[in-house]
Amino acid sequence: PTPVVVAVDGPAGSGKSSVSRAAAEALGYGYLDTGACYRALSWAVLDSGIDAAVAADVVAGLDSFDFSIGTDPGNYFVLVRDVDVTQAIREPRVTGVVSLIARVPEVRDWLTRRFRGIIRSTPFDGIVVEGRDITTVVAPDAPVRILLTASEEARMGRRSKELTSESPEAVGEALRSRDRADSRVVDFMTAADGVTTLDSTDLDFDQTVAAVVELVTTTT
């Protein structure tokens, strides 16, 4: 049977990763963090010494950048070949090049094919897939499509709590500039036709997860 796909898009710091993972856990579904895959590819590009700004070199390396990702929400990991990069892909040096790599159309096509394969072969009844272009490109036919937003202030506040070693100003600027770069490639700030906007500005974490679960159980 084809799995129920729950597509979740949103900007950086919207809380979509932690919310999607917790919702998947509550629903007994799988969880696919597509941003982590863009990050894994970026880590592999840096590791191989390829200049991330030279799109042709990145594209030429694609098939050698093998990565795998855990889709069980209770057992999340990211590997590049046999290296566990679950933590390393969150480092600023990776975050600093990911938008450069994500803007290359061949990279997006290559990853989108991988995502669809992972979705098709999930052992769960459904899968929560989270990113920037899931509701529009990766799974536009998903029965549940959500744009998770929050005010810029709320997003900055949440993210600076995660990254305590950096000043709130630096965190804010890094987040804004990444969203600016990413927005030139995919629009994840406005809900496409048929996509439900869920604004979490005034919701706490548990309330946001409950709202996602509710949307899934009322729709499917």
The answer on whether 126 is annotated among ligand-binding residues is no
Examine residue 155 and tell whether it contacts ligand C5P (CB under 6 A): no
The answer on whether 121 is annotated among ligand-binding residues is no
Span 17-36, contacts to ligand C5P by CB under 6 A: 34-35
Examine residue 146 and tell whether it contacts ligand C5P (CB under 6 A): no
How far is 205 from 15, CA to CA, in rounded Å?
Answer: 8
Examine residue 96 and tell whether it contacts ligand C5P (CB under 6 A): no
| Contact criterion met (CB below 8 Å) for 6 and 126 | yes
Out of 27, 44, 52, 98, the only residue in the binding site for ligand C5P (CB under 6 A) is 98
| CB-based burial label for 199 (10 Å; 0-12, 13-18, 19+) | middle
Examine residue 178 and tell whether it contacts ligand C5P (CB under 6 A): yes
Helix (H, G, I), strand (E, B) or coil at 67: strand
Write the interaction track for ligand C5P spanning residues 42-81; mark x where CB under 6 A is met and - where it is not: ----------------------------------------
| Contact criterion met (CB below 8 Å) for 100 and 5 | no
Closer to ligand C5P by Cβ: residue 102 or 216: 102
The answer on whether 10 is annotated among ligand-binding residues is yes
What DSSP letter does each residue of 23-52 carry, written as one string?
Answer: HHHHHT-EEEEHHHHHHHHHHHHHHTT--T
- Sheet of 67-69: strand order equals 67-69, 78-80, 83-84
Which residues are at the interface with ligand C5P (CB under 6 A)? Answer: 12, 34-35, 38-39, 98-99, 102, 131-134, 178, 182
